[in-house]
Amino acid sequence: LSNNGIFLDRDGTIVVDKKYLRNINEIEFFPKTIKALKKMSDLGFLLFIVSNQSMVARNMSTEEEALTINDEIIRQLNDADIQIKETYLDFSHPKNPSYTRKPNVGFLEKAASDYNLTLKNSWVIGDKESDVIFGKRGNTKTVQINGSHKISHFSDYIANDLEEAYEIISKY
Protein backbone atom coordinates (compact mmCIF):
# COMPACT_ATOMS: atom_id res chain seq x y z
CA LEU A 1 0.00 0.00 0.00
CA SER A 2 1.47 3.33 -0.98
CA ASN A 3 1.25 6.58 0.99
CA ASN A 4 0.92 10.20 0.03
CA GLY A 5 2.93 12.93 1.69
CA ILE A 6 2.89 16.65 2.19
CA PHE A 7 6.37 18.18 2.32
CA LEU A 8 6.34 21.45 4.20
CA ASP A 9 8.96 24.13 4.21
CA ARG A 10 9.48 25.39 7.76
CA ASP A 11 10.51 29.06 8.01
CA GLY A 12 7.99 31.27 6.22
CA THR A 13 5.51 28.39 5.87
CA ILE A 14 4.92 26.73 9.27
CA VAL A 15 6.61 29.35 11.45
CA VAL A 16 7.27 33.03 10.87
CA ASP A 17 10.58 33.52 9.06
CA LYS A 18 12.95 35.28 11.48
CA LYS A 19 15.75 35.27 8.86
CA TYR A 20 17.89 32.79 10.81
CA LEU A 21 15.99 31.16 13.67
CA ARG A 22 18.57 30.73 16.42
CA ASN A 23 16.61 31.00 19.64
CA ILE A 24 13.71 28.77 20.73
CA ASN A 25 12.00 31.85 22.21
CA GLU A 26 11.69 33.24 18.67
CA ILE A 27 9.60 30.31 17.41
CA GLU A 28 6.29 31.76 16.28
CA PHE A 29 3.68 29.72 14.45
CA PHE A 30 1.45 31.42 11.90
CA PRO A 31 -2.09 31.79 13.31
CA LYS A 32 -3.59 29.08 11.05
CA THR A 33 -0.69 26.61 11.07
CA ILE A 34 -1.90 24.20 13.74
CA LYS A 35 -5.46 23.89 12.50
CA ALA A 36 -4.40 23.53 8.87
CA LEU A 37 -1.79 20.84 9.60
CA LYS A 38 -4.37 18.88 11.62
CA LYS A 39 -6.77 18.98 8.68
CA MET A 40 -4.06 17.89 6.23
CA SER A 41 -3.23 15.01 8.51
CA ASP A 42 -6.92 14.09 8.72
CA LEU A 43 -6.97 13.78 4.91
CA GLY A 44 -4.57 10.86 5.36
CA PHE A 45 -1.34 12.55 4.28
CA LEU A 46 1.97 11.87 6.03
CA LEU A 47 3.53 15.20 7.00
CA PHE A 48 7.22 15.99 6.50
CA ILE A 49 9.29 19.11 7.08
CA VAL A 50 12.09 19.88 4.62
CA SER A 51 14.22 22.87 5.50
CA ASN A 52 17.44 24.45 4.26
CA GLN A 53 19.35 25.69 7.31
CA SER A 54 22.49 27.22 5.83
CA MET A 55 23.18 29.09 9.07
CA VAL A 56 25.27 26.06 10.04
CA ALA A 57 27.50 26.29 6.95
CA ARG A 58 27.64 30.06 7.51
CA ASN A 59 28.98 29.40 11.05
CA MET A 60 26.08 31.31 12.59
CA SER A 61 25.05 28.28 14.61
CA THR A 62 26.11 24.72 15.27
CA GLU A 63 24.28 21.68 13.94
CA GLU A 64 23.30 20.91 17.52
CA GLU A 65 21.73 24.36 18.02
CA ALA A 66 19.81 24.06 14.75
CA LEU A 67 18.52 20.63 15.77
CA THR A 68 17.48 21.92 19.22
CA ILE A 69 15.32 24.61 17.62
CA ASN A 70 13.78 22.12 15.22
CA ASP A 71 13.12 19.63 18.04
CA GLU A 72 11.23 22.36 19.90
CA ILE A 73 9.06 23.10 16.84
CA ILE A 74 8.29 19.36 16.54
CA ARG A 75 7.54 19.16 20.27
CA GLN A 76 5.06 22.03 20.06
CA LEU A 77 3.38 20.42 17.05
CA ASN A 78 3.22 17.07 18.90
CA ASP A 79 1.60 18.84 21.85
CA ALA A 80 -1.09 19.97 19.41
CA ASP A 81 -1.56 16.36 18.21
CA ILE A 82 0.27 16.86 14.93
CA GLN A 83 2.69 14.16 13.94
CA ILE A 84 5.53 15.10 11.63
CA LYS A 85 6.75 11.78 10.23
CA GLU A 86 10.25 13.06 9.67
CA THR A 87 12.16 16.32 9.45
CA TYR A 88 14.83 16.68 6.82
CA LEU A 89 17.30 19.50 7.47
CA ASP A 90 20.07 20.46 5.10
CA PHE A 91 22.95 22.48 6.56
CA SER A 92 24.95 23.14 3.39
CA HIS A 93 25.79 26.54 1.91
CA PRO A 94 23.91 27.78 -1.18
CA LYS A 95 27.26 28.31 -2.94
CA ASN A 96 28.24 24.71 -2.25
CA PRO A 97 24.89 22.89 -2.10
CA SER A 98 24.61 19.26 -1.12
CA TYR A 99 22.41 16.76 -2.92
CA THR A 100 19.74 17.34 -0.27
CA ARG A 101 19.65 21.14 -0.34
CA LYS A 102 16.39 22.29 -1.95
CA PRO A 103 15.73 22.52 -4.87
CA ASN A 104 17.81 19.31 -5.12
CA VAL A 105 15.55 16.34 -4.51
CA GLY A 106 17.68 14.14 -2.24
CA PHE A 107 15.24 14.32 0.66
CA LEU A 108 12.18 13.72 -1.55
CA GLU A 109 13.78 10.56 -2.90
CA LYS A 110 14.76 9.40 0.57
CA ALA A 111 11.26 9.97 1.97
CA ALA A 112 9.62 8.30 -1.04
CA SER A 113 11.77 5.24 -0.48
CA ASP A 114 11.55 5.17 3.34
CA TYR A 115 7.78 5.73 3.50
CA ASN A 116 6.65 4.14 0.23
CA LEU A 117 5.25 7.42 -1.11
CA THR A 118 3.61 8.04 -4.46
CA LEU A 119 5.15 11.40 -5.28
CA LYS A 120 2.68 12.30 -8.03
CA ASN A 121 -0.05 12.19 -5.38
CA SER A 122 2.07 14.13 -2.89
CA TRP A 123 2.51 17.87 -2.36
CA VAL A 124 5.22 20.40 -1.58
CA ILE A 125 4.22 23.61 0.19
CA GLY A 126 6.68 26.47 0.65
CA ASP A 127 7.12 30.20 0.33
CA LYS A 128 10.15 30.26 -1.99
CA GLU A 129 10.69 29.37 -5.62
CA SER A 130 13.27 26.79 -4.50
CA ASP A 131 10.44 24.92 -2.72
CA VAL A 132 8.34 24.96 -5.88
CA ILE A 133 11.23 23.73 -8.07
CA PHE A 134 12.01 21.04 -5.48
CA GLY A 135 8.42 19.80 -5.78
CA LYS A 136 8.37 20.05 -9.58
CA ARG A 137 11.64 18.12 -9.94
CA GLY A 138 10.24 15.47 -7.62
CA ASN A 139 7.02 15.16 -9.63
CA THR A 140 4.77 16.41 -6.80
CA LYS A 141 2.05 19.04 -6.92
CA THR A 142 3.08 22.39 -5.50
CA VAL A 143 1.53 25.23 -3.50
CA GLN A 144 3.50 28.40 -2.99
CA ILE A 145 2.69 30.42 0.09
CA ASN A 146 2.39 34.08 -0.84
CA GLY A 147 4.76 35.67 1.66
CA SER A 148 7.81 37.86 1.29
CA HIS A 149 9.28 36.11 -1.78
CA LYS A 150 8.44 36.50 -5.44
CA ILE A 151 5.76 34.18 -6.77
CA SER A 152 7.10 31.44 -9.02
CA HIS A 153 5.33 30.90 -12.32
CA PHE A 154 6.22 27.20 -11.91
CA SER A 155 3.87 26.77 -8.96
CA ASP A 156 0.65 24.80 -9.51
CA TYR A 157 -1.19 26.86 -6.90
CA ILE A 158 -0.70 29.94 -4.76
CA ALA A 159 -2.14 30.29 -1.25
CA ASN A 160 -1.91 33.00 1.39
CA ASP A 161 -1.45 30.53 4.25
CA LEU A 162 -1.61 26.85 5.15
CA GLU A 163 -5.38 27.03 5.61
CA GLU A 164 -5.77 28.04 1.95
CA ALA A 165 -3.26 25.37 0.97
CA TYR A 166 -5.41 22.81 2.78
CA GLU A 167 -8.51 23.99 0.88
CA ILE A 168 -6.68 23.41 -2.42
CA ILE A 169 -5.37 19.99 -1.44
CA SER A 170 -8.73 18.84 -0.03
CA LYS A 171 -10.33 19.23 -3.46
CA TYR A 172 -8.15 16.47 -4.92
**Residues acting as catalytic residues:** 9, 11
**What span, in angstroms and rounded, lies between the C-alpha atoms of 92 and 99?**
9
Answer whether 51's CB lies under 8 Å from 69's CB.
no
Q: How many CA atoms lie within 13 A of 29 on its CB side?
A: 17
42, 81 Cβ separation under 8 angstroms: no
Chain centroid to Cα 116, Å, comes to 19
